[in-house]
Amino acid sequence: MAWNKPTNLREWLDIFLRHRKKFLFVSIPVAMVVIIGSHYVERKYTASAIMEVRNHLAIQQIGDQVTARATKPMRRLLHHDIVSRKAIEQVIDDLELLRDMPIYHADGELTAKGQMIKSDMVDKMRKGIAVSYIARTSELDRARISYTDLDRELAPRIVNKLVDNYIQDANALFDKKLISTKSFFEAQVARHRQNLQTEEAKLMRFRAANPGLEPDDPLSVDAKLVTLQAKLDRLNSDINVLTEERRALQGWLKSAPEMIISKEERTNPEWEATRQRLNALEIEYYNFRNRPGGPTEAHPESQKYIKMIRDLKVKVKELPQRIVADGEAIVNEARIVAAKELETMSGRLAGHESQRAEVKRQYSVYEVRKSNFVELRNKYLNMKRTISEHESQHEFYANKLRATQIALSAAVGNRSVTLTVIDRPREHIKPSHPTLSKILIMSLVLGIGFGGGAIVLSEMLDRSFHNVQHAVDDLKLPVLGAVNEIITQPMIFRRKLFAWGVYPTIGAMLVMVLVVSIILAHLSLVDPSMYEEIMRQPGRMLSSFILG
C-alpha cells in the first residue's frame, strides 16, 4: 500500500496520536544526547566592568578650554588605550601570566621564544577585549569593558587589572597635562609682565621729558585718528584671519568627497560556500556508506570521499570566517557642516569688509583735517599701543594660569575629573557560551525534529489500511464490509501490561534521566567544581543525596 499523505491538520493529528509513543521514545533520548553532549562544548567566560569618567562641579564652573584640553585625550582615547598592546603587555606582566613558563634568560629577560609566546598572547587577548559606551556627555562618560576567555578565573582578573591600570595611567596623564600647561602659562605671564613694566617705564620717562604733552586727548583729531586706526587694525586682522580660514575651508571642501563608503564586517562567501560543500559531501558520504550493501571504508570510492572531505576541512580552517568589506555609500556629513560654516564665514567676512570700508572713509575725513603731527606724538602713541598689547596679552595668560591653578587644586582634592569603577565582575561568572537556555532550545528543537521524523518514517513504512477510503483508493475495488480487529484475551493482557506497566516505567526513567541531565548541564555552567566532583564519584554523590 502506498503512503497516503495527510491533507489536513486532523489527519496529521491522527498520525501523531497513533505514533505518540515513538515520538516520545525518540525525542526524549535525542534531547538527552544533546544536553549531555553540551557538557563537552568548550566554555567561554565573559567578565565585564563598568567604568565612569566624570567632570565634577569645580571643573564645570571653570568653563575653560584648559581643562577640556587636558581631559580630552584620556576620554577620546579610552578605547585605544584599553586595547593597546602596551596596556595588555602590562596586564600580562602584572598578573605574571608567563611566570611558570621556561622562557626567561638568567637575567630575567624573555627569550626569543618567550617574546613570540607573549606576542601571541597579546594578540589573543586583544581579540577578547570589547569596549562599548553606555553614556557619553560633556560631564560623564560611562563605558563597559569586557573580556572573553576560556579560563573562568582569569577573565575577571584581566578585566579588573585593565581597568585599574587605565585609571592609574589616565590620572597621571591628566596631572602631567595640567602641570605642563601651568608651567607654560607661568612663563608667558612672567615674560609679558616684564615687557609691560619696561614699556611703562619708557612712557613715564617720556612724560617726564615732555611735561604737559597730552596727545591722547579724546577731543583732539589725533586721538580720534588713533581710535580709528586701532579699529582698522583689528578689522584687518579679523579679515585676514577669516580670509585664511575661508581659503583653507574652501580647499578642504574641494578635496572632500560628497559620499563616503562605510566599512562593515561580513561572512566570507568563499568560506561559507566551502563549509556548505563540506556538509553536503559528508551527508553524501554517509548515505553512500549506509545504503543496503554499502561499501566499506577501504573501498576506492570511500577513500575518494574521505580525501575530498579532509581537503575541504583543511580549506575551511585556512579561510578567514569574517572579512571587512565596503558597505553602502553614505553622505559625508562633515562636508555638509563645513559648507554651512563656509556660508556663515562668508557672511561674517562681508560684514567686516563693510565695517572696514566705513572706518577707512571716516579715517580719510579726519586725516584731511589733520594739520600738524610731530614726531613726539607718534612716538607717544607707539608706546601706548605697545603697552596696550602687552596688557591684553598679560591679562589673557593670567586668566589661563588662574584656570589651570583651579583645575590643579581640584585634582589634588579629587574634585576635578574622577575615574571610578562602578561595577566590577564577580569572581565566579557564568559562561557566556554556551548558556543553559541555548542548550535547552537546541535539545527541544532537535528532539521535536527527530521525533517528528520518526513519526513520518513509521507512517510511510506502515502498510496497513486505517480507514475504508484508503482501502478503496489503493485497491481500486469496492468494499462490501469491514471487520474490526479481533483481539484475544492474551492480546488484551499484553496491551494492558505495556500500557500501564512497561511504557510508563520507561517513560518515567527517560524523564528522570532528562531531568538529571538538565541539572548536570546547569551545574556544569554555574558550579563546575561540584559538577566535576559528581562526575568523579557519581555513586557517592547519589547515595549522599538519597540518604541526606
In-domain check, residue 62: yes
Our count of domains for the chain comes to 3
Same domain, 97 and 146: yes
In-domain check, residue 212: no
What nine digits make up the cell of 186?
A: 607661568
Between 141 and 194, the more confident residue is 194
Domain stop point among 307, 323, 339: 323
Domain stop point among 397, 423, 449: 423
CA 184 remoteness from chain centre: 38
In-domain check, residue 168: yes
Name which of 533, 511, 532, 536 is nearest 35 in CA terms: 511
CATH of the domain at 138: 3.30.1890
Per-residue pLDDT band for 211 (boundaries 50, 70, 90) equals very low
Burial of residue 521 (number of CB atoms within 10 Å: 0-12, 13-18, 19+): buried
Residue 279 structural domain? 267-323
Same domain, 81 and 125: yes
Same domain, 34 and 91: no
Per-residue pLDDT band for 149 (boundaries 50, 70, 90) equals confident
The alpha carbon dihedral of 401, 404, 406, 408 has a sign of: negative
Q: Can you give the pLDDT at residue 15? A: 72
Same domain, 37 and 49: no
Same domain, 448 and 529: yes
pLDDT in tens, 248-277: 888 888 887 777 776 777 788 888 888 888
Same domain, 56 and 171: yes
Per-residue pLDDT band for 470 (boundaries 50, 70, 90) equals low
Q: Can you give the pLDDT at residue 58? A: 41
Q: Can you give the pLDDT at residue 62? A: 43
In-domain check, residue 406: no
Q: Can you give the pLDDT at residue 70? A: 47
Per-residue pLDDT band for 479 (boundaries 50, 70, 90) equals low
Please report, for the chain, how many H helices and E strands are present, in that order.
Answer: 19, 7
Angle at 195 between CA 189 and CA 201, to 5 degrees: 135
What nine digits make up the cell of 332?
A: 559625508
CB 377 within 8 A of CB 220: no
CA distance 462 to 5: 12
Same domain, 115 and 160: yes
Same domain, 174 and 48: yes
Provide the b/e sequence for 376-388 (b: ≥16 CB within 10 Å): ebeebbebbebbe
pLDDT in tens, 351-364: 989 999 988 887 88
In-domain check, residue 185: no
Residue 469 CB-half CA count within 13 A: 2
* C-alpha pair distances (Å), 448 with each of 22, 275, 441: 12, 26, 11
In-domain check, residue 274: yes
Indicate whether 247 pLDDT > 80.
yes
Same domain, 314 and 284: yes
CB 36 within 8 A of CB 412: no
Name which of 227, 245, 491 is nearest 359 in CA terms: 227
Between 172 and 453, the more confident residue is 453
* pTM (whole model) above 0.85: no
Q: Can you give the pLDDT at residue 336? A: 84
In-domain check, residue 468: no
Same domain, 51 and 156: yes
User: 457 — alpha (psi -120 to 50), left (phi > 0) or beta?
Assistant: alpha
pLDDT in tens, 369-401: 455 445 666 777 788 888 888 888 888 888 888
Same domain, 92 and 175: yes
Mean pLDDT, the chain, whole residue set: 76
Helix (H) or strand (E) holding 492: helix 489-497
Name which of 431, 447, 430 is nearest 36 in CA terms: 447
In-domain check, residue 246: no
Per-residue pLDDT band for 540 (boundaries 50, 70, 90) equals low
CB 166 within 8 A of CB 73: no
pLDDT in tens, 298-323: 778 888 888 888 888 888 888 888 87
Same domain, 74 and 167: yes
